[in-house]
Amino acid sequence: MGRKFFVGGNWKCNGTNDEVKKIVSTLNGVEVPSEDVVEIVVSPPFVFLPLVKSLLRSDFQTAAQNCWVRKGGAFTGEVSAEMLVNLGIPWVILGHSERRLLLNESNEFVGDKVTYALSRGLKVIACVGETLEQRESGSTMAVVSQQTKAIADQVSNWTNVVLAYEPVWAIGTGKVATPAQAQEVHSELRKCLQQNVGGEVAASTRIIYGGSVNGANCKELAAQPDIDGFLVGGASLKPEFVDIIKAAT
Ligand code: PEP
């Protein structure tokens, strides 16, 4: 089975009501490859999810940027997987490096979150990636394998998981991984899935790249055999997001 190209737009903690409406209206007017060719998901901050969902064209989907690790209750400030399901939000991004590093989310905690979100019926974009220090010390593969294994230890059905390789040194820095650097890690991640989950999951799971992807560098990255799409931050707020979607073809 071929892996359908996947493009996610992570809007992070950005936007006002009016700005969000403007971005959605731009997206609603663009021509993109059909749903058979590319799966497109945008991820606004929690507070804008209902607005975006209500205005967004039906061939684009929505994702939350996080959710709580278990059933809701006395967890002030958190948003539960059940709430997202209740709002009809199909996807959630988990394990983004900004949460791992700024909010100390451990590999195990991210693994627990992925497991719980999947159990509630959400689809998950699970992020892994090494810091610059880790890359320079030669531990890239050890780091991303451990992050992936913490999920694979609990999750055997990966149908609803997209794995996002996002080197921390490339996120929001303008320093994109070279196609060869990204391909090398993606291919190793596929091997990691093969060893820890199985050959079928390794072959069918989409592994997408994130980190300073833009309209100019997306084509070359998309041409790599193990790069199945992108998670896009900064450029997802700009018109060039459409060029990145078109890298699918
Ligand atoms: C991200 O935050 O997921 C990301 C990839 O950001 P950027 O594209 O801005 O590097």
ipTM of the complex: 0.98
CB-ligand 1 contact for 97 (6 Å cutoff): no
CA of 63 to the centre of ligand 1 (A): 15
- Tell me what the mean pLDDT of segment 63-68 comes to: 98
Atom 1 in ligand 1: residue holding the nearest Cα? 233
Q: Which of 7, 11, 12 to mutate to test the pocket of ligand 1 (most atoms within 8 A of CB)?
A: 12
In this predicted structure, what is the pLDDT of residue 1? 56
What's the rounded Cα separation, in Å, for the pair 10 and 14? 10
Q: Which of 97, 96, 72, 76 is nearest to 85 (CA)?
A: 72
pLDDT band at 210 (very low <50, low <70, confident <90, very high): very high
Three-state SS at 7: strand
Atom 8 in ligand 1: residue holding the nearest Cα? 233
CB-ligand 1 contact for 199 (6 Å cutoff): no
Q: Each residue of 24-55: b (16+ CB within 10 Å) or e?
A: beebeeeebeeeeebbbbbbbbbebbeebbee
Asked if 231 and 125 count as a contact pair (C-beta separation under 8 A), the reply is: yes
- Tell me what the mean pLDDT of segment 177-196 comes to: 98
CB-ligand 1 contact for 101 (6 Å cutoff): no
Domains and CATH numbers, the chain: 5-246 (3.20.20.70)
